Structure 1
Amino acid sequence: MKIASLSNPVTSDWFREQGLRLDASPYVSGALQVKKLLDRLPETVPLASLTRGHNGGIFNGPMFRRVYLTDPEHSVPFLGTKDMMAADLTGLPRLRKADAHSAALSYLQLKPGMTLISRSGFNAGRRAYARPDMSGVWASEDIVKVQPDPERIKSGYLYAFLLSRFGEALVRGSVYGSAVKHIEAHHIAGLPVPRFGDRVESEIHELVEESTELRARHQAELAAATKDFFDSNGLPELSELRWHQQERDLGFEVARVGSTSLRALNFAPRARRLIEKLETVPGARLGEICAGGQLSRGVRFKRVESDSEHGVQLVGQRQAFWLRPEGRWIGTATTPAEVFASDESVLVAAQGTLGENEVYCRSILATGSFLKYAYSEHFLRVVSGTPDIPGAYLFAFFRSEAAFRVLRSLSVGGKQQDIHEFLRAEIPVPIALNTDRDRITATVRSAYRCRDRADVLEDKALALLTAAVEEAVG
């Protein structure tokens, strides 16, 4: 529970400034305290005066009936509030192209340089930056788009301010509602944006832009590595798997059923054909590859709340797929070593439901900056025990649609699904020639170096902005 600071109490004039708003959000979020701080700056201007485009450049869009398709020729990628935080946009749902390009929805297409703000639900108030690879993506009505006017402000600088602790407080202070939180576009139109001159703002902008380009490169290199994986193994058709264009598994017979499983999903024809295709090329079973490493779920343990100075962030299945994962801080003294990931561990979200847009059976690679986190027991740890088959090579396979469909077919459980302990060890993994393997591994590693460097540059931009504000207010 948040309370007002005794050193900075809520005063009656604050209530008048907020139109006698009586809910606690704007007073304990720090929004008014930040506004008072920014009032001491030489120059601030309202956000709405720096934008242009539909509805003045700050807009969300109408509610509409969504028709999802799977054929890329007749659909466009569609970004929701959870997806806007994601590092990998490969698996976005796809909206019918005819609807997207209609007069009612065409302006929802993202433009690089936009700042995106989630406007409803648990994640209301989170911010993201529209990367170059988002130019063909449409965003839902649950995302406020802030389109800067390039003649008045640089997009990277504006995003850095909205992402900073100052922007965080101002945006969060605009949230209203009880059970379901909301932000409306007009609530943030008057946010004060500090101006520091072209030199400072350009430096911050360039850092953000370089960070964004590296994140787009991260995405492109991972996609290239996965395509290279299947091409090098003689399975090019699996790099563009059209799962939903195949005949549905409405009825089938199984000749031999043992004690391992009686569940129809584990014998579904589409998945069996996919597994058989993977078996036609040289490879090894996943259990064999991980014999000297790990192929199991994480350990359960007691969580003890802590702070950032004395603890570690515990990342769950949803947040692990974000650009910058968030999680609760837990004490290191009671945290077993097994919850940390070894370098180049493939972590598979191993509990969940079978919804098409759920993270269940999606994978991430723990390497670089991601090694500082602790991971919940809900991840399946895939750690190679074979030196010449590194985790980066395995990840090029596990991030693919083919691997996702194979893992989903191995589900067991009721409401919450898990991946069958025996069947997962039998997954066939194609093994390319050494030169191809090395190239694929190098591409994945390069992608994650880009991602880590992008985080460093973004942090540097935020540090410069914070320093400029603090110096200006004395």
Structure 2
Amino acid sequence: MNSIQHEKPTSALGTLFKPQISSVMANMARDNAFRLDAGNYSPQAISTQQLLQRGKHKNKKLSDIGDVFGFGPFKRTYISDPEFGIPLLTSAEIMGINPHPKIMAKADLPKWSQYQVKKGWIAVSCSGTIGNVAIIPGKWDSWGMSQDAIRIVPEKPYQGLIYTFLRLPFIKHQIVGSKSGSVIDHIYADDLKRLDVPFPAQGVIDKLDCLISRVLHLREESDNFLSEANSFVTEFNGLAQFHKEDEKWFDTNKEVESVIVNSKDIILNNDSGSEYRLDAHFYNPMAQLAIENIKKAKTEVKTIEDVTERVFLVPRFKRNYVDEKYGHPFLSGKNIIQTRPTNLKYLSKSETKNLELYYLEKKWTLITCSGTIGRTCFVWENYENYTATQHILRVVADDAQIDPGYLYAFLSSQYGKLQVLRYSHGSVIDEITGKQIGKVFIPLLSKEGQKQIGDLVRSAYEKRAEAIRLEDEAQEILMKALT
């Protein structure tokens, strides 16, 4: 049978690198929409195809066991009132733990309902960063999703099989290999429809479906626990719920968002450890209202500085990234809000001086402090002994003063976030410092109340860890069945 073969370069460039050469059968090109770009026939892609073809199991096309579809770009208008729109997830947000997507107006998009997703559907990022796979939880049911994610509606009982199969590293490599685009990488629904999915024994299929259903349930429980902890922070401290409509502006029509500040307030803010802040953002009405309500709380009020051992950043350091087997996991600010880190980098163990100084420890709260500010994460059954970028603040609770889980719950609540964000500064890239975080006000519950909230946080993170473990178990079961 005819074959397509990469020729070995004869130019001087051939001495600078070792080219990857592979022979491709003509029928493989035919089955791959006659694609002739080399990336589609990388050695890894070919070995994947060979593994699936020589397996003892029957293969089916993905399109035979699920409805696979996507959309082209569509015009949308974003609004602030959710009553007149639906949340629209981006391809990055589908990997997030608790995304807060923009609201897409229904009025300007007559067919808006076709962009809605349902619980149990599978989403695959298809533009920019390709191949990330997520399963839609109940909270996102009837939310919208942008054209940058392909939808898969699995037939029963193939949800677990499809989700686990698409997450296998060598299958992701195959998906990425089918990308196209001169500037921004893309894949299309047809690229996924052509994937060969091996069919293990029915018992394995049922086991995968059970495991992935459990994964989805655990993540939903985790989200519910954190929402409950957030509610308890305001309820137990007697803090009022407040909304955007409660803002108090000098111009009541809000044609110009302006506030009046007494010079005495500027001086008092400096006395409390801040700077002489003259930027209007520092005095925004929502943050002022949060502080006002906290000072009226029925519990004792302290600052983060009072209840922590330290709030600190690690210094900038030289980074040498290496393959996983030679390195130590390194978290970016984006990674700490994902269900599990994607595109994780690894620091060289041999080339990074004093690597142990950058390790994260259990019970710490992490806060992003550069660029996108205020993202939070609790180190519990997840990132112990990982390293992380200097753009993440480490908040170390004083256990004698405060429950670390309660500290995290407050800083991730609306009352905590509004105070953190008001300290942002920078002409191009927003920044906050550890010293500024130390000046955030926090109401202190009784030890019992703190523990109740802290236990919810810890249970939520333990459920997330169990979900990741079950995903890994599902991959092991599928790989064992295939090999």
- Identify the TM-score tier after normalising by the shorter chain: 0.7 to 0.9
CA offsets, 1:154-200, max 9 Å, x none? Answer: 21111111111343133222211232000111122111111113211
| TM-aligned CA deviation for residue 246 of structure 1 | 6.4
Answer yes or no: is the 8 Å Cα contact 1:313–1:373 preserved in 2: yes
| TM-aligned CA deviation for residue 113 of structure 1 | 2.0
**Aligned match for 1:163, one of 138, 161, 167:** 167
| TM-aligned CA deviation for residue 266 of structure 1 | 1.6
Partner residue, 1:434 = 447
- 1-side partners of 2:389 and 2:91: how far apart? 23
Q: Indicate the structure (1 or 2) with the bigger Cα radius of gyration.
A: 2
Answer yes or no: is the 8 Å Cα contact 2:248–2:285 preserved in 1: no
Q: Do the aligned partners of residues 67 and 289 (structure 1) sit closer, same or farther apart at CA in structure 2, a change above 3 Å counting?
A: same
**Aligned match for 2:62, one of 47, 54, 58:** 47
| TM-aligned CA deviation for residue 236 of structure 1 | 4.0
Q: Do the aligned partners of residues 2 and 461 (structure 1) sit closer, same or farther apart at CA in structure 2, a change above 3 Å counting?
A: farther
Partner residue, 2:206 = 202
Length-normalised TM-score, structure 1: 0.88
Partner residue, 1:295 = 311
Q: Are 2:461 and 1:448 aligned?
A: yes
Partner residue, 1:356 = none
CA offsets, 1:312-348, max 9 Å, x none? Answer: 1111111221111142111234253332222121111
Answer yes or no: is the 8 Å Cα contact 1:116–1:128 preserved in 2: yes
- 1-side partners of 2:360 and 2:375: how far apart? 17
**Aligned match for 1:268, one of 272, 284, 291:** 284
**Aligned match for 1:331, one of 348, 355, 359:** 348
Q: Are 2:104 and 1:95 aligned?
A: yes
Q: Do the aligned partners of residues 246 and 264 (structure 1) sit closer, same or farther apart at CA in structure 2, a change above 3 Å counting?
A: closer
Q: Do the aligned partners of residues 112 and 252 (structure 1) sit closer, same or farther apart at CA in structure 2, a change above 3 Å counting?
A: closer
CA offsets, 1:360-385, max 9 Å, x none? Answer: 21211122122142110001111112
Give me the CA root mean square deviation: 2.4
| TM-aligned CA deviation for residue 457 of structure 1 | 0.5
**Aligned match for 2:328, one of 287, 293, 312:** 312
Alignment of 1:36-435 (within 5 A): 36-41=50-55, 42-51=57-66, 57-89=67-99, 91-98=100-107, 102=110, 104-121=111-128, 123-150=129-156, 153-238=157-242, 241-242=243-244, 247=249, 250-256=257-263, 257-258=266-267, 260=275, 261-281=277-297, 282-290=300-308, 293-326=309-342, 327-333=344-350, 334=352, 335-352=354-371, 359-435=372-448
| TM-aligned CA deviation for residue 62 of structure 1 | 4.0
Q: Do the aligned partners of residues 172 and 179 (structure 1) sit closer, same or farther apart at CA in structure 2, a change above 3 Å counting?
A: same
Contiguous gaps of at least 5 residues in structure 2: 1-15
1:194 counterpart SS class: strand
What code does the residue aligned with 2:382 have? S
- The total of aligned residue pairs comes to 447
1:110 counterpart SS class: coil
Answer yes or no: is the 8 Å Cα contact 1:214–1:454 preserved in 2: yes
- 2-side partners of 1:131 and 1:141: how far apart? 19
Q: Do the aligned partners of residues 21 and 157 (structure 1) sit closer, same or farther apart at CA in structure 2, a change above 3 Å counting?
A: closer
CA offsets, 1:112-153, max 9 Å, x none? Answer: 2211111101x1121111223321322111110011122xx4
- 1-side partners of 2:481 and 2:92: how far apart? 32
Partner residue, 1:54 = none
1:287 counterpart SS class: helix
Length-normalised TM-score, structure 2: 0.86
- 1-side partners of 2:434 and 2:472: how far apart? 41
- 1-side partners of 2:386 and 2:437: how far apart? 25
Q: Do the aligned partners of residues 371 and 243 (structure 1) sit closer, same or farther apart at CA in structure 2, a change above 3 Å counting?
A: farther
Higher alpha-carbon deviation: 201-210 or 30-39? 30-39
What code does the residue aligned with 1:395 have? Y
2:222 counterpart SS class: helix
CA offsets, 1:90-122, max 9 Å, x none? Answer: x2322235567x4x231322222211111101x
- 2-side partners of 1:430 and 1:99: how far apart? 44
- 2-side partners of 1:105 and 1:316: how far apart? 34
- 1-side partners of 2:320 and 2:173: how far apart? 28
- 2-side partners of 1:463 and 1:22: how far apart? 33
| TM-aligned CA deviation for residue 427 of structure 1 | 1.0
Q: Do the aligned partners of residues 88 and 246 (structure 1) sit closer, same or farther apart at CA in structure 2, a change above 3 Å counting?
A: farther
**Aligned match for 2:39, one of 3, 19, 25:** 25
- 2-side partners of 1:138 and 1:377: how far apart? 34
Partner residue, 1:355 = none
- 2-side partners of 1:423 and 1:17: how far apart? 59
| TM-aligned CA deviation for residue 310 of structure 1 | 3.1
Q: With CA pairs under 8 Å and 6+ residues apart, which has the higher RCO, 1 or 2?
A: 1
- 2-side partners of 1:366 and 1:350: how far apart? 17
What code does the residue aligned with 2:81 have? D
- 2-side partners of 1:303 and 1:433: how far apart? 43
